[in-house]
Amino acid sequence: MAQARDKIVANRSRLPNYICRQTVNRSYFRSPKQSVSFPACAESRAGQEVRDSQLSIYLTDRFRLDVKVSGGVEIGSWAGSSKFADNFDFIGRGPFGTGAFGTFLSNIFDNSVTSFSYKGVVMSDSGDLYEYGFQIPRAASHYLVKAGADWQAVAYEGEADIDPHSLDLRHLRVRSNSLPAASEACTVATDVEYAMAQLNRGDFLLPRHSRLHIVTASTDEDDIDTTYSACREFQSESTVSFVENAQAGTAAKSQRNSPAGLPPGLSILLALAEPINTDNAAAGDVVLERVRKAVRANGSKEVLIPAGTTVRGRIVRMQHWIQPPPQFTISIQLETWESGGVSVPIFAKPDHSGIAFAPSAPTHGVPTYLPAAAYSPRVRAYAITTDRVRYVLPRGFQSNWITVAPSADQ
């Protein structure tokens, strides 16, 4: 264990800055019989085996990120975007965890207060591994859990599986039952699979797959399954900007190379250039659309956006509601349009002015399901009710938008 520890710490010290693509699939489970009163966490853990057999999945969602790791600190963006944020609030609500890239490794293996215990030999596809248990007290923990508006450190424990021949870490299991009440969770467990990966400067130990499992105080359970791919070294000359500074750079470039921004109130009819397949599409994916009719200035024949112009949007939510009413929710936000080879920011919201609603009186006692709430007024949410396991939004699917003035933070 001491030799493996030294190798892990040395790997961390020489690890260059790098970026990995993360594809995250989340599954949400709950009991078909929802109780008004929730059991205490100790009682909930005691009855977990019985409860697990009663749980059923009611919702899944998927998103894709680029995560940059520098000095063990993780910052993220939508896949392919250059605007990184030091938090992951842009993905919206829902369970999410970090730490597989470095926080766990440094806190466990480069921590003088960590206690280890040999637990025996475990079998794996690559051969026998030595399993070691470990414990991290709260006072020495860097494992932070969201508790209300604050982040609190928690004690945790787990196991590390070591290859006795290469001394490489293969699996890391981390769990904590010492969660603050404000976190609304009873148990958090993370299982990370590691492998050697090649970057420009050599081979390094990087995560390949992880699973975060959360048991909530309401006895619901969440699974967050993450795969890591396309890891590459992050060169200093790469064009990456932080969210808070991105606007200044965008504005400067726009002033030099781009036409003036579009005035508000312009109607834009778009058609999907490629279909969206819910089998593999994820929040974070880029969506290409084409302008169906030339966009003219209000009260003028001047063409501001020619027909056929490419408009680039992004999926910001991809959900599959499984329990009734079964539906897919695909939410899209427009980002840029192409003008003379230059990408110009576009600010637009869904235009519902042409939609006629049949008048009807509410019926007492009949459930009414509201459309999915969008992240902002600039997001169009398609709620497709179907009991199919997949849905394809076809190429050519049309949508109406109307331009708006950018807000101060845009």
Strand duo 286-291 + 303-305: pairing: unpaired
pLDDT attached to residue 307: 96
**Residue 251 included in any domain:** no
Smallest CA-to-CA distance from 70 within 187, 235, 224 is with 235
Same domain assignment for residues 179 and 274: no
Mean pLDDT for all residues in the chain: 85
Contacts of 325 (CB under 8 A, 6+ apart): 369, 385
Q: Is the pLDDT of residue 113 over 60?
A: yes
Q: Quick one: 394 and 355 in the same domain?
A: yes
Look up the CATH number of the domain holding residue 53: 2.50.20
Provide the pLDDT for residue 82.
81
Q: What's the pLDDT tens digit per position in 116-140?
A: 999 999 998 888 999 999 999 999 9
What residue spans of 15-99 are helical by DSSP H? 41-46, 48-54
| Domain span holding position 102 | 2-233
Claim to verify: residue 343 and residue 228 sit in the same structural domain: no
List residues bridging with 197 in a β-sheet: 204
Per-residue pLDDT tens digits for 135-184: 999 999 999 998 888 999 999 999 999 999 999 999 999 999 989 988 88
Please check whether residues 194 and 288 belong to one and the same domain.
no
Assess contact for 247 and 47: CB atoms under 8 A: no
Residue pair 39/220 in contact (Cβ under 8 Å)? The answer is: no
Q: What number is the average pLDDT over the span 211-240?
A: 83
Of 183, 200, 233, the one marking the end of a domain is 233
Does one domain contain both 217 and 295?
no
Which residues, listed in sequence order, are joined to residue 196 by a DSSP beta bridge? 205
Nearest to 191 by CA among 206, 175, 179: 175
Confirm whether 305 is domain-assigned: yes
Choose the final residue of a domain: 233, 266, 297: 233
| Same-domain check for residues 298 and 200 | no
* 207 and 274 in a common domain: no
Query: Is there a single domain that holds both residue 229 and residue 262?
Result: no
Burial 48-67 (b: 16+ CB within 10 A, else e): beebeeebeebbbbbbbbbb
pLDDT for the residue numbered 102: 81
Q: Does pLDDT of 249 surpass 60? A: no
pLDDT at 305: 94
**Gap between the Cα atoms of 293 and 277, Å rounded:** 26
Helices (H), 2-140: 2-14, 41-46, 48-54, 103-109
Phi/psi for 353 (5° steps) reads: -65, -25
323 part of a folded domain: yes
Which pLDDT score, from 0 to 100, does residue 287 have?
97
pLDDT reported for residue 217: 82
At 9, is the secondary structure helix, strand, or coil?
A: helix
Inside any domain, residue 387: yes
Q: What is the per-residue pLDDT for 36?
A: 55
User: What pLDDT does residue 55 have?
Assistant: 87
Same domain, 195 and 134: yes
Pairwise CA distance, residues 51 & 270, whole Å: 48
Q: What is the pLDDT of residues 8-65, one digit of tens each?
A: 999 888 888 899 999 999 999 987 766 555 666 876 665 565 556 678 999 999 999 9
Cβ neighbourhood burial of 81 (10 Å; 0-12, 13-18, 19+):
buried
CA distances from 47 to 29, 52, 183, 222, 252 (A): 16, 9, 20, 17, 59
CB atoms within 10 A of CB 251: 12
**With bands split at pLDDT 50, 70 and 90, how would you rate the model's confidence at 221?**
very high
pLDDT of residue 408: 57
Report the pLDDT value the prediction gives residue 52, as an integer from 0 to 100.
62
Nearest residue to 379 via CA among 315, 302, 296, 304: 315
The pLDDT tens digits of the residues spanning 298-353 come to 888 899 999 999 999 999 999 999 988 899 999 999 999 998 889 999 999 999 77
Question: Could you give the percent of the chain with pLDDT greater than 90?
Answer: 57
pLDDT > 70: percent of the chain: 82
The 10 Å Cβ neighbour count of residue 336 is 17
Q: 325: cis peptide before it, omega within 30°?
A: yes
Same domain membership, residue 275 and residue 213? no
Residue 247 placed within a domain: no
In a domain, 392, yes or no: yes
Work out the angle at residue 164's Cα, subtended by the Cα atoms of residues 98 and 4, and round it to the nearest 5 degrees. 50
Whether residue 197 contacts residue 215, with contact meaning beta carbons closer than 8 Å, is answered with: no
- 74 and 151 inside one domain: yes
pLDDT at 238 over 80: no
Task: Identify the residue whose tokens are 């963006």.
Answer: 77
So what's the pLDDT on residue 86?
78
In a domain, 172, yes or no: yes
Q: Which residue has the higher pLDDT, 115 or 408?
A: 115
| pTM score of the predicted model | 0.86
Same domain as 266, residue 212: no
Q: What is the CATH number of the domain that holds 324?
A: 2.40.128
- How many structural domains comprise the chain? 2
253 within some domain:
no
